[in-house]
């Protein structure tokens, strides 16, 4: 799962929506939503806007997540860290812990994400 996938799946859970119901609300096919969540597909800006509005997610946060996922292999550590910081900073406090937990779970399979997430959390604790 990607950072974008984590944000969307958490929002679906929070809103009590299935992928099918989100599809009905947005006009985005259920299979497309599933592929976005699993990281098999990168959404276009229009799809991000539809999902953001339907799921109550700031569209800028979705853009940041999609960009970080896409550019992950092309970014240096500092730039990737900055993108993660923006994503976490923009997550509403009530959802922040759940987003971080899901990022941690995903990081178990991705050493690079794990390292970046640990650095982000270390800096956050220093504040």
- Complete domains list, the chain, with CATH: 3-126 (1.10.260.40)
Per-residue pLDDT of the chain (127 residues; tens, 9 = 90+): 788 898 899 899 989 999 999 999 999 999 999 999 998 888 888 999 999 999 998 888 888 888 777 766 566 677 777 777 777 666 665 566 666 666 666 666 677 767 766 776 666 666 5
pTM value surpassing 0.85: no
Neighbours of 20 (CB within 10 A): 12
3 state DSSP class of 39:
coil
């Amino acid at each position: 799962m990607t950072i974008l996938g984590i944000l969307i799946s958490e929002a679906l859970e929070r809103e009590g929506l299935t992928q099918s119901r989100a599809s009905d609300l947005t006009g985005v096919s259920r299979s497309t939503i599933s592929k976005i969540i699993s990281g098999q597909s990168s959404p276009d800006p229009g799809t991000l806007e539809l999902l953001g509005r339907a799921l109550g997610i700031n569209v800028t946060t979705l853009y940041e997540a999609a960009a970080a996922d896409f550019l992950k292999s092309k970014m240096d550590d500092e730039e990737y860290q900055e993108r993660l910081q923006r994503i976490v900073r923009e997550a509403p406090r009530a959802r922040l812990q759940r987003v971080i937990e899901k990022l941690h779970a995903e990081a178990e399979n991705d050493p690079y994400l794990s390292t970046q997430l640990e650095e982000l959390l270390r800096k956050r604790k220093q504040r």
